[in-house]
Amino acid sequence: MVSTRSTARTLIRPSSLTYVDFPWIIEHREDRCTLCGQCTSVCPREAIHLAYRRKRQPNFEVFGQKRGSEFGVFTGIKQETRMANSCIGCGMCEMVCPNDAIRPVPNDNEHRSLFFRNLNGDSYKRGGRRNQTGPTLLDRILFDRISMLTDPALDAGRHEFTVTTTLGRMLPPDEFLSRMRQGEWIPPTREIFPFIIGSMSFGALSPNMWLGLLQGVAYCNEVLGLPVVMCTGEGGCPPWILKSPYLKYIILQIASGYFGWDEIIRAIPEMQCLPAAIEIKYGQGAKPGDGGLLMWHKVSTLIARLRGVPPGVDLPSPPVHQTLYSIEESVMKMVQTLSMAFDNKVPVYPKISASTSAKSVLNNLVRNPYAGGMVIDGIDGGTGAAYNVSMDATGHPIASCLRECYLDLVRQGKQSEIPLFAAGGIGKNGNVAQNGMALIMLGASGVHLGKYIMQSAAGCLGNEMNRCNVCNLGICPKGITSQNPKLYRRLDQDQVAERLAETFQSINTEVKKIMAPLGRSQSLPIGMSDAIGINDQAAAERLHIKYLC
């Protein structure tokens, strides 16, 4: 009798897994561990525990009498091998460990656990974005038009730049002048910073995160002079914010779930200023054809109150607005209603997921005098919750879709009338200004950032190796996407605001660094595609840009 029988008694099931089957492996160094308990305390998944392991020291004596075994025990931190407690690689254990004794390492083995993400017949849902690593197409675009001695050289640090873009419908000059003279309605526009904080709802985000973003946006506007705006997402907006002067920095989103719109309408008479714009969400790049997916564990009392729903219920939004039946009708009904709601003084525009049908939507917008622009959200966009299959395999990359739409406008001579905004994967590898400016030169008037902002302003741990990505479960270890105060209080609102300000300061500088060599300082190089190229002939042809080699 030599060892415990627990292993002998283990029943092997089809879903029995060992730790090497998981995408993340906990590497624990017993020699460094002080058994302080902080790693197991902080782990959001209860994926690690203190383990007592048996050690057997057999006594081999060929002629002696002392044969037998001695047993001892050693301790260590061990990884769970149940799917429900699988390590997500967030690395919080490493963050709190005083001795650098523990860390998750990505497993480069095959991940057999992938075949068991469907236990109980549930499909795998998660947060984050498409799990595809490596440089994106946007990362590979180079700015190769550089004025040196050919044009007056501009210096990003020395020259003054106007780094803003126009949101809203721009009339052709003759029509503008004629309407001016007649005193007729002129579509509202806004001059905003071209990097916009895209729609992330109060609900998808924790209160500290959402308010931290707004505080940072206010700081950018009021202290740094950067006219940054943010979009609410479909979770509504707290009433005191609707009635505050900061509403002008906010794009209110209306989506198929209509959450929080009762509060918005109720607040209209008391608004001190108008919102920056209204975004009508028809689609999302991360999960085209699917609606919001806020699950019960994130519907706290506060979120329920704000959205006008009972607490603790699932809030899946329908994929489409229930009262719309065709493109023409969608554009007409929605754009006009929302334009009228704010006295036709606020730009109203739709957001769609990048797809082969984007041009059809765009052409309807061109014909609609109230439409103030269009946001196209590509497949690499992030989300707080979606089916993995939607995130990884459904959708269209942003670059070619945006480019096609822009060139379509160019053919109609309308590129200066309807601004296009691009979203989805901007800054995926950290190159936020480069990615954004590449899209601007492909024809975007500006870009929307979501995931990048969470990473930069709040230290989101998610990545495209499927690290963390548990936004949907309400267990965000950084407190960004949790509605549990025990988690979101880990995030300090002021610090988020500070980081946001730093982020935009830096984007602003990098945008200038990209614009200066082009000899541009006073208007964004929207559609200036002669300034970019790529070392991929097929992509160059598709995007109608230079092939660089």
Partner 1 sequence: MTTPLIKGRDEQGRRIGSMDFEKLIREAARTSSALSLEVYGQHNIGIRLQRPDGLRINVKGPSGQRLGCMGMPGTNIVCDGSTSDDVGYLNIGAEITVLGNATNGACNAMAGGKVFIGGSTGARGLTMTKWNPDYARPELWVLGSVGDSFAEFNCGGVAVVCGLEAKTPKNVLGYRPCVGMVGGWIFFRGEIDDSYAKNSARLAAPNDEQWQWLCENLPIFLQNIRREELLDTLLRRDEWQMLIAVTPQERAQIQAGPMPMAEFRQKHWNRAFGGDPLRDIAPGLLRGHIPAIVQGELRRKKPWWINRESAAPCAYYCPIHIPTGERLRLIREGKVADAYELLLRHTPLPASVCGAVCPQPCMDNCSRGQVDEVIVMQSLGRAVGEVEAPASASSTGKKVAIIGGGPAAMSAAWQLALAGIEAHIFEQDDKIGGKLAQVIPWERLPRQTWEKEVERFLAMPGVNVHLNSAMTKEKFLELKENYDFVIVAAGTHEPRRLNFPGSERVIPALDFLKTSKSANPMPVGKRVVIIGAGNVGCDVAYEAYQLGAETVTLVDIQKPLAFGKERENAEKLGATFRWPVITKAVTEEGLVMDSGEVIPADTVIISIGDVPALPFLPETVATIKVGGAAWITTGPGHQTSDAKVLATGDVEKPGLATDAMGAGKTAAEFIIAKISGQEFKPFAKGLVPPGALTLNHYAPRTVEASERNQAERCLSCATCRDCHLCETICPTGAISRKDMGARAGDPFGLKGNYVYASDDKKCIACGFCADTCPCGIWVLRPLP
Query: Which chain residues interact with partner 1 by CB under 8 A?
Result: 1-6, 9, 35-38, 40-42, 46, 49-54, 71, 73, 92, 95-96, 157-158, 160, 207-208, 211, 215, 218-219, 222-224, 238-241, 244-246, 301-302, 305-306, 477, 484-495, 497-498, 501-502, 505
Q: Specify the residue, 43 or 362, whose C-beta has the smaller distance to partner 1.
A: 43
How far is residue 203's CA from residue 267's CA, in Å, rounded to a whole number?
20
Q: CB-wise, 38 or 337, nearer to partner 1?
A: 38
> How far is CA 369 from each of CA 48, 100, 333, 402, rounded to the nearest angstrom?
59, 61, 12, 21
CA-based Rg of the chain, rounded to a whole angstrom?
Answer: 27
Q: Please list the alpha-helical segments (H only) found in 368-431.
A: 388-393, 398-412
Nearest approach, Cβ of 289 to partner 1 (angstroms)? 32
Select 300 or 353, whichever has its Cβ closest to partner 1.
Answer: 300
**Shortest spacing between CB 204 and partner 1, in angstroms:** 17
Toward partner 1, which CB reaches closer, 428 or 490?
Answer: 490
Closer residue to partner 1 (CB): 50 or 265: 50
In whole angstroms, the minimum distance from the beta carbon of 290 to partner 1 comes to 28
By C-alpha distance, which of 84, 293, 298 is closest to 205? 298
> Shortest Cβ distance from residue 238 to partner 1 (Å)?
5
What sign has the CA pseudo-torsion 287, 330, 422, 544?
Answer: positive
Taking a C-beta distance cutoff of 8 angstroms, is the pair 521, 515 a contact? yes
Whose Cβ is closer to partner 1: residue 211's or residue 366's?
211
Phi/psi of residue 127, nearest 5 degrees: -110, -175
* φ, ψ at 144 (rounded to 5°): -110, 5
Q: Which two tokens stand for residue 82?
A: 């149940």
Q: At closest approach, how far in Å is the CB of 427 from partner 1?
A: 21
CB of 341 to partner 1, least distance (A): 22
| CA–CA gap between residue 333 and residue 262 (Å, rounded) | 19
Q: 544 in helix, strand or coil? A: coil
285 in Cβ contact with 423 (< 8 Å): yes
Shorter beta-carbon distance to partner 1: residue 116 or 219: 219
Q: Which is nearer to partner 1, 24 or 246 (CB)?
A: 246
Alpha-carbon span 398 to 536, nearest angstrom: 17
Nearest to 42 by CA among 4, 91, 113: 91
CB of 397 to partner 1, least distance (A): 35
Tell the smallest beta-carbon distance from residue 244 to partner 1 (Å).
5
Number of H helices, E strands in the chain: 18, 21
